[in-house]
A and B are shown apart, each in its own frame.
Chain A
Amino acid sequence: MSEALDDKAPGPDAPAVIEARDLTARFGTNTLFRNVTFDVRRGEVFVILGGSGCGKSTLLKLMIGLVPPAEGKVAVLGTDVWSTEGASRLDLLKRIGVMWQQGALFGSQTLLENVEMPLAEHTTLPPEARREVARAKLGLVGLSAAADQLPSEISGGMLKRAGIARALALDPPILFLDEPSAGLDPVTSAGLDALIRDLSRSLGTTFVVVTHELASILAIGDRCIMLDKGAKGMIAEGDPRELRDHSTHPTVQAFFLRKAA
């Protein structure tokens, strides 16, 4: 099937599905980053990268409306995340999916029930249809055989994949993934990268991925931004492979060449 599809990243003329403008995050008097501005284009795999503690996960939480920005604005699918409420906010939430760092699956439910939950809550699919759809989502991430298991009975890599299946439940146009390959072995991590790439190309889903795993960044990223703790902001933007080969910024070089600071 893939050969019938264009495997290229969406071009610069693709419409922006996320517009972040002058975002500043502050905890008390501590500024995590300031004036972060970028666009995420439809259908691309957009990576937010940077070292530990630079604010990558905070930036993601800011985009999905969990943490308010100290300054600036962020619009997802044309809706200002922090000014919308009520039905329009719910509509926006149905159009995004989030895979949390630890999966965040409900421990008392099987994987199938975890994936079924958003379908039961937000669609009018009949119960047998919901089950079939949930099985399909688990099949997409290679977890069909584990459908009846509890989260406590599966491995870390399976938890992350189950997290993606649940995030995919409503086929949202945008998926946010927080550290999808952290703590996974290279083979599982590569499998997850391939899955993200395939879903992006075959379903046209836009992915926003927070990670600092170099192999993942280079394998899946169409574009990226890099945050830096020292600079308290964004220090680079572009194709990760080009940044690796051509960036002259010492922090960017150190990151891609894995040099000690």
Chain B
Amino acid sequence: MAIWLWDDGEEAGPLAESLAMREEDGARRMALSGRIDTQAAAALWARLMAEARKPGAPLLIDLAGVEAVDTTGATLLLTAQSAAQGSRIEGASPGVVAVLDRVRDALAAPRPAVVARRFAPLSGLGRRVVGALNGGVEALAFLGETLVVALGTLIRPGRLRVRELLRHLDEAGTRAFGLAALLGALLGVILAFQSAIPLRQFGAEIFVPSLVGISLLRELGPLMAGVVLAGRTGSAYAAELGTMTVNEEVAALRIMGIDPMALLVLPRVLAGVLVMPVLSLLLTLAGLAGMALIMQLLGFQLNTVAQQLVNFVSLKDLLGGLFKASVFGLAIAIIGCRAGMGAGRGPRAVGDAATSAVVGGIVAIVVLDGIFAVLFERLGL
């Protein structure tokens, strides 16, 4: 093994060979020579510690033949010394003594206090529950703050950063059109195919357009658009605002007397609310087109499909779906912005914020969808 140190390119031999043990005046003398650097210490560690832990005569670590040690070598020597009762180090050159002294001080410095272990699963569960409750309260406060800022903007429309709003409408909306159309078309194709199989048994394939139409307009259109928005935009909001929070840009805005809620949050939330109905409508229309294609393949004329849709689907279904989409957009944008603005410190903070934005966004739209289902049923919509 080649050994180098501080270096001038010199190499010393394997240090394991330069460790010699002998009994002397009732003590065990361990004579080391050469250079004890990191690689040598790694090679020697197990053997030296085994010698140090042997019971019996005190250990005498003879460093007369040692040219130099680095801090890792010194850690080994001092750890061995402290492991062997009554042992001592001798014969070290001034340079070696200097390194040993420095490392001795370093090892003697107070270490972190060992925290008494609690019952981890229980305390962990408690922490999570309290964290979730606090998170809920903070999210509610954030929603309130956003609404207050939005009301303030209604009174003073000049406060709204239109350019920012347009940028977010573009990023959250127009750039997601392709994805929404593709998902919608595929969804329409899959739904039509899968529903046609059981309906064929009853000769009721003609009802496929009404089934797919109702599903897309009332449920799947807004829901899938919500998933697209949460994945694309909610995470982007959290990452962007999270990075700004970590870099203290948000704090800088506050200190400059600029309300970050008005500058950063409001345009994003408005964009979320405004683009979602459009995304949902696009996804639904693409889905209906996909369904129509399958119906044609099954031998139905387009006008038959259209007639069937008109008979079963009303404007109420469409408007209800679009309203739901807007509420989903509000929830996703609020959750994304809140995750970013509440990001912690360090590089993990941004990743954590993006993850919680996506997970929170998707969970929120599913919960809201359930609430809407009950509400619409009660209201007879």
Q: Which positions in A face B, CB cutoff 8 Å? A: 1-2, 4-5, 15, 17, 42-43, 77-78, 95, 107-108, 119, 123-126, 129, 132-133, 135-140, 142, 144-152, 168, 170-171, 173, 198, 201-206
Bound form: Cα–Cα A144–B110 in Å: 6
16 new A-B pairs (CB below 8 Å) besides A136-B72, A140-B103, A171-B5? A4-B98, A15-B8, A108-B348, A126-B45, A129-B42, A132-B107, A133-B41, A133-B75, A133-B76, A136-B71, A144-B110, A144-B112, A145-B110, A145-B112, A150-B346, A152-B346
Question: Could you show 18 A-B contacts with beta carbons less than 8 Å apart?
Answer: A1-B101, A1-B102, A2-B98, A108-B348, A124-B42, A126-B46, A129-B41, A133-B76, A137-B106, A139-B105, A139-B107, A139-B108, A140-B102, A140-B106, A145-B111, A202-B102, A204-B6, A206-B6
CB distance from B63 to the nearest CB of A (A): 14
Bound form: Cα–Cα A142–B39 in Å: 25
- The reply to whether the CB of B33 lies closer than 8 angstroms to some CB of chain A is no
Bound form: Cα–Cα A2–B344 in Å: 44
Is B42's CB under 8 angstroms from A123's CB?
A: yes
Of B68, B98, B106, B344, which contacts A136 at CB under 8 A?
B106
- The reply to whether the CB of B70 lies closer than 8 angstroms to some CB of chain A is yes
Is B95's CB under 8 angstroms from A173's CB?
A: no
- With A5-B94, A5-B98, A132-B79 known as contacts, the answer to whether A205 contacts B6 (CB < 8 A) is yes
Residue from A108, A136, A145 with most neighbouring chain B CB atoms (10 Å): A136
**From residue 74 to 107 of chain B, which have CB atoms closer than 8 A to chain A?**
74-76, 79, 94-95, 97-99, 101-103, 105-107
Q: Which residues of B contact A77 (CB under 8 A)?
A: 7, 9
**From residue 1 to 47 of chain B, which have CB atoms closer than 8 A to chain A?**
4-9, 37-39, 41-43, 45-46
Of B9, B45, B105, B347, which contacts A78 at CB under 8 A?
B9
- The reply to whether the CB of B54 lies closer than 8 angstroms to some CB of chain A is no
Bound form: Cα–Cα A4–B8 in Å: 23
Bound form: Cα–Cα A17–B71 in Å: 20
Q: Which residues of B contact A148 (CB under 8 A)?
A: 112
- The reply to whether the CB of B122 lies closer than 8 angstroms to some CB of chain A is no
CB distance from B109 to the nearest CB of A (A): 4
Is B97's CB under 8 angstroms from A107's CB?
A: no
Across chains A and B, which 6 residue pairs bring their CB atoms closest together, nearest first?
A139-B106, A152-B346, A171-B70, A4-B94, A144-B109, A1-B101
Q: Which residues of B contact A139 (CB under 8 A)?
A: 103, 105-109
Is A173's CB under 8 angstroms from B6's CB?
A: yes
Is B106's CB under 8 angstroms from A144's CB?
A: yes
Q: Which residues of B contact A198 (CB under 8 A)?
A: 102
Q: Which residues of A contact B9 (CB under 8 A)?
A: 77-78
Of B37, B43, B107, B344, which contacts A171 at CB under 8 A?
B37
- The reply to whether the CB of B167 lies closer than 8 angstroms to some CB of chain A is no
Bound form: Cα–Cα A194–B317 in Å: 75
- The reply to whether the CB of B161 lies closer than 8 angstroms to some CB of chain A is no
CB distance from A171 to the nearest CB of B (A): 4
**From residue 124 to 182 of chain B, which have CB atoms closer than 8 A to chain A?**
none
Q: Which residues of A contact B98 (CB under 8 A)?
A: 1-2, 4-5, 201-202
- The reply to whether the CB of B345 lies closer than 8 angstroms to some CB of chain A is yes
CB distance from A142 to the nearest CB of B (A): 7
Q: Which residues of A contact B5 (CB under 8 A)?
A: 171, 173
Q: Name A148's closest neighbour in chain B (CB-CB).
A: B112
Residue from B68, B105, B109 with most neighbouring chain A CB atoms (10 Å): B109
Q: Name B37's closest neighbour in chain A (CB-CB).
A: A171
Is B72's CB under 8 angstroms from A133's CB?
A: yes
**From residue 321 to 348 of chain B, which have CB atoms closer than 8 A to chain A?**
344-348
CB distance from B193 to the nearest CB of A (A): 46
Q: Which residues of A contact B101 (CB under 8 A)?
A: 1
- With A147-B111, A151-B346, A171-B37 known as contacts, the answer to whether A202 contacts B99 (CB < 8 A) is yes
Q: Which residues of B contact A126 (CB under 8 A)?
A: 45-46
Bound form: Cα–Cα A126–B5 in Å: 21
Q: Name A199's closest neighbour in chain B (CB-CB).
A: B102
CB distance from B44 to the nearest CB of A (A): 10
Is B95's CB under 8 angstroms from A5's CB?
A: yes
Is A168's CB under 8 angstroms from B6's CB?
A: no
- With A107-B348, A146-B112 known as contacts, the answer to whether A125 contacts B42 (CB < 8 A) is yes
CB distance from A134 to the nearest CB of B (A): 9
Is A147's CB under 8 angstroms from B94's CB?
A: no
Is B38's CB under 8 angstroms from A4's CB?
A: no
Q: Which residues of B contact A145 (CB under 8 A)?
A: 109-112
Of A43, A137, A147, which contacts B112 at CB under 8 A?
A147
